[in-house]
Structure 1
């Protein structure tokens, strides 16, 4: 008979625990992915936890083990998506206004490659205009943060002398956010025939030429 000492006996339990956590993380990620498609297709109010759980391949009780409610799932989906975008496109401070604008175009290009998430954003942003919508406060805070971040980048460019000293950074930042979302909405209606990143690049190029001290714009859209 093989006798395991106490340290040896712990190893299988640790391995099992790690495996359990990995399965839990994978399932949570799968729930978020499926929820994106459901919120994109039906919006928040018409989406059903039971249908989401069925498409994931678990029970509704199993879904609620990871997310306390449909509201919790919605906010988690939105936060998860934002965290991925920030890590991918805005983790480093842009060195120039050109770099900042190119990052925005890169994000639009990425959005055109994930139609489910982009449609979800369009649907939920429109729904969240209702004061009682569970994502209302999230979108208020998000737009405030987005406009603030872009405005801060523009102010830094003004200080470096790239942009004219009379640049209204808050106004320009708000317009950039509005134009990007508007182009995204038009793209979602006819994605096969609408070049969203190309249109955004053209707008930002014209905008930058109107703001830069030397009239320079963005490099050609690659």
Structure 2
């Protein structure tokens, strides 16, 4: 059942700059989807929530596919292309004198960022599960995002123990780390006794705590 419309201030119907209006749409839609799921929120509900007519909403967001992508790109992903993604990873990777990046530091920075936005993490997970269906409007976005992230990370210069320097071994390590990160996010949202940071500390000790990582962290 479609949720009831959300009350908005009367001045929300005033004209806004396009970028500001799209951010308002993304913000309100994120709240609604996080609560009801993407299939439980209609475009009309979002239009009502931001004080627009349906044609007015469609002027800014042309359908559910664009709406869902807008939510994630606005509040979860802050990169728009592979070059931007690579630059952000370099900034968080604790480069050494040779320009090599720390994988543990990079992953920890990702987790730190997500601990500050649990509601958005919940939305991302909910949409990821729904988007497993090839007919879901965000299916292609999620499939492409995962492959893009792995591809960019494979291409960066990492500080690694010898056994992970082979491409196949590094690929296994990356995929294992992201499986652990996904599990950390889900468990943190369902277990009130440990935070995401607490859970990731366990992962770090297990994946990166051995002697071989002493010079590679």
Shorter-normalised TM-score: what interval?
A: 0.7 to 0.9
Q: Which residue of 2 aligns with 1:204?
A: 204
Q: Which residue of 1 aligns with 2:154?
A: 151
Higher deviation after alignment, 80-89 or 174-183? 80-89
Q: Which residue of 2 aligns with 1:169?
A: 170
Higher deviation after alignment, 35-44 or 175-184? 35-44
CA separation of 1:194 and 1:62: change in aligned 2, threshold 3 A: farther
Q: Alpha-carbon deviation of 1:71? A: 1.5
Structure 1, gaps ≥5 residues long: 1-19
SS at match of 1:202: helix
**Structure that is richer in helix per residue:** 1
Structure 2, gaps ≥5 residues long: 1-14
TM-score normalized by the length of structure 1: 0.73
Larger radius of gyration: 1
Asked if residue 180 in structure 1 is aligned to residue 178 in structure 2, the reply is: no
CA separation of 1:113 and 1:91: change in aligned 2, threshold 3 A: same
Q: Alpha-carbon deviation of 1:66? A: 0.4
Asked if residue 45 in structure 1 is aligned to residue 43 in structure 2, the reply is: no
Q: Contact 1:147–1:177 (CA<8 Å) still a contact in 2?
A: no
Q: Alpha-carbon deviation of 1:178? A: 1.0
Distance 1:105 1:88 in 2: 17
Distance 2:69 2:53 in 1: 21
SS at match of 2:151: helix
CA separation of 1:214 and 1:132: change in aligned 2, threshold 3 A: closer
Q: Which residue of 1 aligns with 2:91?
A: 92
Distance 1:44 1:195 in 2: 26
Q: Which residue of 2 aligns with 1:34?
A: 28
Distance 1:93 1:214 in 2: 18
CA separation of 1:50 and 1:56: change in aligned 2, threshold 3 A: same
Question: Alignment partner for residue 140 of structure 1, among 138, 143, 149?
Answer: 143
Distance 1:62 1:37 in 2: 20
Q: Which residue of 1 aligns with 2:117?
A: 114
Q: Alpha-carbon deviation of 1:45? A: 1.7
Q: Which residue of 2 aligns with 1:12?
A: none
Q: Contact 1:148–1:173 (CA<8 Å) still a contact in 2?
A: no
TM-score normalized by the length of structure 2: 0.75
Q: Contact 1:106–1:197 (CA<8 Å) still a contact in 2?
A: no
The CA deviation string for residues 108-167 of structure 1, in whole angstroms up to 9 with x for no partner, is 2222221221111110111111111111111111111222333344xx33xx5x411455
